[in-house]
Amino acid sequence: MNIIDELKWRGLVNQTSDEEGLKKLTEKEAIALYCGMDPTGDSMHIGHLLPFMTLQRFAKAGNHPYIVIGGATGSIGDPSGKKAERPMQTMEQVDHNVEALSSQAKRIFPSFTMVNNYDWTAQIGILDFLRDYGKLFNVNTMLNKEIVSSRLETGISFTEFTYQILQSLDFLTLYRQHNVKLQVGGGDQWGNLTAGLDLIHKAEGQDAEVYALTIPLLLKADGTKFGKTAGGAVWLDSKKTSPYEFYQFWFNQDDRDVINLLKEFTFLSKDEIEDLAEKVKTHPEKREAQRKLAEEVTTFVHGEDALKVAQKITEVLFSGEIKELTTAEVAQAFNGVPSAEITKDEINLVDLLIAANVDKSKRQAREDIQNGAIRINGERLTDTTLMIDPSTSFDGKYIVIRRGKKKYFLAEIK
């Protein structure tokens, strides 16, 4: 299957500047292509993941992907999809984010070539910029781009207005220096991508063979945007979103969404995905498709060891055998659950439930204990007079409390 046909089957093609031309080019030769990422933060989230996984599909087909980290464009701010100006970052913050994102991207996509657009943009003086590049952009055309026109009512600064020139310069530079012929981006980047095509054709001639491809905005079956949770973004940095939380995010996807997500976020074959689709229809309760999705994406982003830890935590929480977890695994498993700090001193079980905000009153705490609703580190306790020694569990750092079947609380020992 041609790479463009595969992308279409997977639902990864939103717009292309010339689909037939791009398909013929990829059948004729291996190409260099790129996707950019501005350093607005110090970690990617799963919204960034899909374009780069699309580049990985091109790599598997023998092509050469580049990632452009926007050390220059990130200091300006992309107006796309924003109702107001982005807060301007300091250059120190931009540099920190560039370093963090570059390290992260190299770990996840080791075969890609990484470049920073600050390296070529910083060398251009203001007069050269205006004469060599600004002259090639028509203001009327720029105003008609959706990324700009959507901001005209609320206002847009000249700084953000010129963003599409800088991004276009990236494409021109990569075309000249590395023969890059395709830019991939999200659906909201179409105006910036086509501006890059226009610049190359004006600077290098209309016969320059360059293309643009955007990926659709991902929506769930209920119409909401994919990738957000009640806690916010799902990050690729394990310190921001633990591998266990990451695994659970994918495992908990709706039956209506899981097959599309397998197509978009895994490298499973068409036959494998169609087999899982059949299992969703016949035995949805087994959640085999969700489990496979979680395994594939967690391994791709965090590696096999992290997957094994996430699976272990999942199994332990299901069985209730909390003592099987290590201290580090407890921290990962219960990140985000209600928590409170307690001292290292021995504490009565009733008082512990109050201190950890498990119960609001001693009367309720005693009832929960006597009714068998309380487990401490996986062990059911029914004696209200029992004293708990915090030093005996998880290196003296945590006590895990469960009330009922599913409600967990964490006492952190200070």
Q: Hey, which residues are catalytic here?
A: 40, 45, 48, 82, 86, 167, 188, 225, 228-229
Q: Establish whether 34 is an annotated binding residue.
A: yes
- Least Cα distance to 241 among 101, 336, 109, 339 occurs for 336
Sheet containing 374-376: order of strands: 339-342, 407-413, 398-403, 374-376, 379-380
Dist CA 227 CA 236 (whole Å): 12
Dist CA 367 CA 352 (whole Å): 14
Joined tokens for residue 257: 């969404």
- Least Cα distance to 356 among 390, 396, 332 occurs for 390
Dist CA 32 CA 19 (whole Å): 17
Q: Establish whether 228 is an annotated binding residue.
A: yes
Dist CA 237 CA 43 (whole Å): 6
SS3 (DSSP) at 223: coil
CB 19 within 8 A of CB 50: no
Specify binding-site residues for ATP: 228
Specify binding-site residues for L-tyrosine: 34, 163, 167
